[in-house]
Amino acid sequence: MEIEQEVLDLIENAKRVCILTGAGVSAESGIATFRDAQEGKGLWSQYDPQQLASIDGFLNDPQTVWQWYQWRRDVNKDKEPNPAHLAIARWQQRSHQDGNQLVSLITQNVDGLHQKAGSSPVTELHGNIWHNHCLQCNQIHQASVEGLEAVPECTYCGGQVRPSVVWFGEALPEQAWREAESAAYSCDLFLSVGTSSQVYPAAGLAALAKSQGAKVLEINPDPTNSSVVDYQIAGKAGEVFKRFNI
């Protein structure tokens, strides 16, 4: 209980908070990781998810990759924000109203559930599965793609439209990464929530925060062995946030 009181004091007294969320938060809404999502799912279990989620995979077989993402969208379209999403959104909203605390939210998830819960702004490091853009000219594809089995054509250049997610072999969006680095660099409390801290460069944000004097709090059902973590709370994020009245 002593550690939990220390954590509560940190949360209440921090002036600048940076929250990084990972797949564990989405899992509480029933969203599987892109690797787990296809296990035992007939056709898709035949494919290597790292091929389906790569630029090379799309260039070699755009139709198959597009259909996989359409399947993933269909599976997840009815998923709703869970208590962790809602708690973070309330925290952000309070910080906007009170002005005593700045809460920056960075996510590795692509499902858009933080925004659906009411969080704003949200820095999406790996993109958003509900958005699309042209592979050739990079223009945003505004038209609905629901139910489309064939790869759409870009209305600007006729190129191939792709999901606006970061694939293996691609760099993170420049603007999003600048926002994430800035938030981590300037915070005095960094929360790593539902992430294994193994996917770089996002996993390096906690170390960046720590190097500037921030305290690092990890909330995860399976605590990591990260040496930069000051406090570890084992459990689902939604349950932990409720315990801390966030």
C-alpha of 96 from chain center = 21
How many angstroms separate the CA atoms of 75 and 152, rounded?
A: 20
List the 122-124 sheet strands across, edge first. 122-124, 102-107, 16-21, 189-193, 215-220, 231-234
Tokens of 237: 């994020």
131 flagged as catalytic: no
How many angstroms separate the CA atoms of 55 and 65, rounded?
A: 10
* Opening angle at CA 197, ends 221 and 93, nearest 5: 75
Distance (Å) of CA 6 to CA 11, 14, 16, 232: 9, 12, 17, 12
Kindly name the residue from 85, 96, 114, 126 that is annotated as catalytic: 126
* Opening angle at CA 129, ends 125 and 133, nearest 5: 90
**Residue 105: strand pairing partners:** 19, 122
Specify the length of the chain in residues.
Answer: 246
Distance (Å) of CA 2 to CA 5, 7, 9, 122, 174: 5, 9, 11, 32, 41
Q: Which residues are catalytic?
A: 126
